[in-house]
């Protein structure tokens, strides 16, 4: 028979407490649905066009070249050619001298960079301010680190008469934001350009945030993965370049978004050594090294972009130009059928108001599931069009605040966007005809 202590052990759950409340993930379900039902997938955020040729060629050169040591471990905190070029590139953008070994660290995608930040800086009891709607991983990562997420919403202001709503119309209330800062606030997570709305925070908005960070001695985790995807001549302002912010900010970037190669999972952090040293500690005790070949290729990609910076052939000029056209296409497409798009200033996402289509998916009172989620599932199953409900980007109790929006990804080939348009047009016809 079992001893009492053994029984006690067996009655405890096998998993660690840090996993409590973070096991759910909407992507698992929605990716499966898209794979099963969708004919047009505007759901998960990745391009359906390839990375640029110069990058693919760099990858091929790296894997097949004379130097077969590129298939072995490289420097753990970042392949030397990559950290060197990142230090140069971001040094130029920030107007600072950056040291490749202390001011830059390479990670497995921006996702792992975020993880390192939370693990390095968030202790039990620390509060982290998160602006909603937001990329869904921030909340569970804060919780896994034992921290408390404190949410502050972007609130939509009605657009001027006759105009479509813009992501710029979604704003923080300064007093509300200030009220979220407390003695326990360790960090604020900023995502600009913002996923899912596409908002590009203005200099004024960032200065407000910066003032509060400095006043309360709070860190800023700045997720800037969409930094190049900015439209209508808008400027992506880096909060780390504002007064008092370099010393307290970790900037996060992504090769996946920068070079349309999400499957390479190469990301990076840029910041002061006294913050990055702790990210290095987390990194060396969790994954240690990142894959070499992709880092070599990304380094070459950045080398090219450094040389072509600001020129029309630069990928960082061409990509946003192309994506802006796709954005405008999708905006027209949605507007034409009565789905009201919120025109994004950046990113490759667009959120649309589906209120006029609600009749297709009747409300279910007292349902656990937010309406927009049920709508999105119905849409992929019945129309073959995959999108993500906006409630996926809100946390727990706030999921029902905005229940009539869905997010589309428009980093798609023309054919894909045309096919989406066909589905929407057909849908509209079915609604209006008896």
Partner 1 sequence: MLFASRSFCCLGIRTYQLRTDLLSRSIKLSASATMAFRHKNTRRIEGLDSNVWVEFTKVAADPSIVNLGQGLPDISPPSYVKEELAKAAAVDRLNQYTRGFGHPSLVKALSQVYERVCGRKIDPLTDILVTVGAYGSLFSTIQALIEEGDEVIIVEPFYDCYEPMVKMAGAKPIFIPLRYKNYGNSASSADWVLEPAELANKFNSKTKAIILNTPHNPTGKVFTREELQVIADLCIKHDTLCISDEVYEWLVYKGKKHIKIATLPGMWERTITIGSAGKTYSVTGWKLGWSIGPQNLIKHLQVVHQNTLYTCPTPLQEALAQAFWIDYKRMDDPDCYFYSLSRELESKRDRMAQLLQEAGLKPVIPDGGYFMIVDVSTLNVDLSDVDEKQPYDYKFVRWMITSKKLSAIPLSAFCGPETKRQFEKYIRFCFIKKDSTLDAAEVILKNWNKQTA
* DSSP bridge partners of 352: 341, 406
400 near partner 1, rule: CB under 8 A: no
Candidates 82-90, 242-250, 342-350, 422-430 — which segment interacts with partner 1 by CB under 8 A?
242-250
Q: Which of 236, 238, 280, 377 binds partner 1 (CB under 8 A)?
A: 280
64 near partner 1, rule: CB under 8 A: yes
Q: What are the φ and ψ backbone dihedral angles of 56, each rounded to 5 degrees?
A: -60, -40
Give the whole-angstrom CA distance, residue 393 versus residue 382.
Answer: 23
286 near partner 1, rule: CB under 8 A: yes
- DSSP-derived pairing of the beta strands 385-386 and 349-353: unpaired
If you ran DSSP here, which 8-state letter would residue 41 be given? E
Is there a contact between 388 and 196 (Cβ–Cβ < 8 Å)?
Answer: yes
Site string for partner 1, 91-110 (x = CB under 8 A): -----------------xx-
> Which residues between 183 and 202 bind partner 1 (CB under 8 A)?
186
CB of 370 to partner 1, least distance (A): 21
Complex with partner 1: residue 9 or 431, whichever CB lies closer = 9
Candidates 54-62, 163-171, 388-396, 416-424 — which segment interacts with partner 1 by CB under 8 A?
54-62
Give the dihedral of Cα atoms 309, 195, 76, 141; nearest 10 deg: 160
Give the whole-angstrom CA distance, residue 135 versus residue 121.
Answer: 19
> Which residues between 299 and 338 bind partner 1 (CB under 8 A)?
none
CB of 362 to partner 1, least distance (A): 32
Q: Which of 1, 53, 68, 312 binds partner 1 (CB under 8 A)?
A: 68
* DSSP bridge partners of 230: 346
Give the whole-angstrom CA distance, residue 91 versus residue 86.
Answer: 8
374 near partner 1, rule: CB under 8 A: no
36 near partner 1, rule: CB under 8 A: no
Q: Which of 1, 10, 396, 397 binds partner 1 (CB under 8 A)?
A: 10
Say how many C-beta atoms besides its own lie within 10 A of residue 150's C-beta.
Answer: 17
Q: Residue 342: helix, strand or coil by DSSP?
A: strand
CB of 361 to partner 1, least distance (A): 28
369 near partner 1, rule: CB under 8 A: no
Q: Which of 39, 44, 148, 171 binds partner 1 (CB under 8 A)?
A: 44
- CA 27 to chain centroid: 13
Q: Which of 93, 150, 208, 308 binds partner 1 (CB under 8 A)?
A: 208
Give the whole-angstrom CA distance, residue 375 versus residue 361.
Answer: 6
């Amino acid at each position: 028979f079992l001893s009492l202590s053994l029984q006690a052990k067996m009655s405890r759950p096998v998993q660690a407490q840090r996993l409590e409340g973070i096991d759910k993930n909407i992507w698992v379900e929605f990716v499966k649905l898209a794979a099963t039902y969708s004919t047009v997938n505007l759901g998960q955020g990745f391009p359906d066009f390839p990375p640029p040729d110069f990058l693919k060629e760099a990858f091929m050169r790296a894997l097949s070249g004379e130097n077969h040591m590129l298939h072995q471990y490289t420097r753990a905190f970042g392949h030397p050619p990559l950290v060197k070029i990142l230090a140069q590139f971001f040094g130029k953008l920030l107007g600072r001298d950056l040291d490749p070994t202390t001011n830059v660290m390479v990670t497995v995608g921006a996702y792992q960079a975020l993880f390192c930040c939370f693990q390095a800086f968030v202790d039990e009891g620390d509060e982290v301010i998160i602006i909603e709607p937001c990329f869904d991983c921030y909340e569970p990562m804060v919780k896994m680190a034992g921290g408390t997420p404190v949410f502050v919403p972007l609130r939509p202001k009605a657009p001027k008469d006759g105009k479509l709503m813009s992501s710029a119309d979604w704003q923080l209330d300064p007093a509300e934001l200030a009220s979220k800062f407390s003695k326990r606030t360790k960090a604020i997570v900023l995502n600009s350009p913002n996923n899912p709305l596409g908002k590009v925070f203005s200099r004024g908005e960032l200065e407000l945030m910066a003032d509060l960070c400095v006043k309360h001695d709070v860190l800023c985790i700045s997720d800037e993965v969409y930094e190049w995807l900015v439209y209508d001549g808008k400027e992506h302002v880096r909060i780390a370049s504002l007064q008092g912010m370099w010393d307290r900010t970790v900037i996060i970037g992504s090769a996946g978004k920068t070079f349309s190669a999400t499957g390479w999972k190469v990301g990076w952090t840029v910041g002061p050594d006294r913050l990055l040293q702790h990210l290095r500690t987390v990194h060396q005790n969790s994954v240690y090294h990142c894959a070499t070949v992709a880092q070599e290729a990304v380094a070459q990609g950045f080398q090219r972009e450094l040389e072509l910076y600001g020129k029309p052939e630069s990928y960082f000029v061409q990509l946003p130009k192309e994506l802006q056209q796709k954005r405008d296409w999708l905006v027209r497409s949605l507007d034409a059928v009565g789905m009201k798009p919120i025109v994004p200033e950046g990113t490759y996402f667009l959120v649309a108001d589906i209120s006029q289509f609600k009749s297709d998916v009747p409300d279910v009172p007292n349902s656990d599931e937010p309406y927009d989620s049920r709508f999105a599932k119905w849409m992929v199953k019945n129309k073959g069009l995959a999108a993500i409900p906006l409630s996926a980007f809100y946390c727990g109790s706030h999921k029902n605040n905005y229940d009539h929006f869905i997010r589309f990804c428009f980093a798609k080939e023309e054919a894909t966007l045309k096919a989406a348009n066909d589905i929407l047009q057909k849908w509209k016809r079915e609604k209006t005809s008896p």
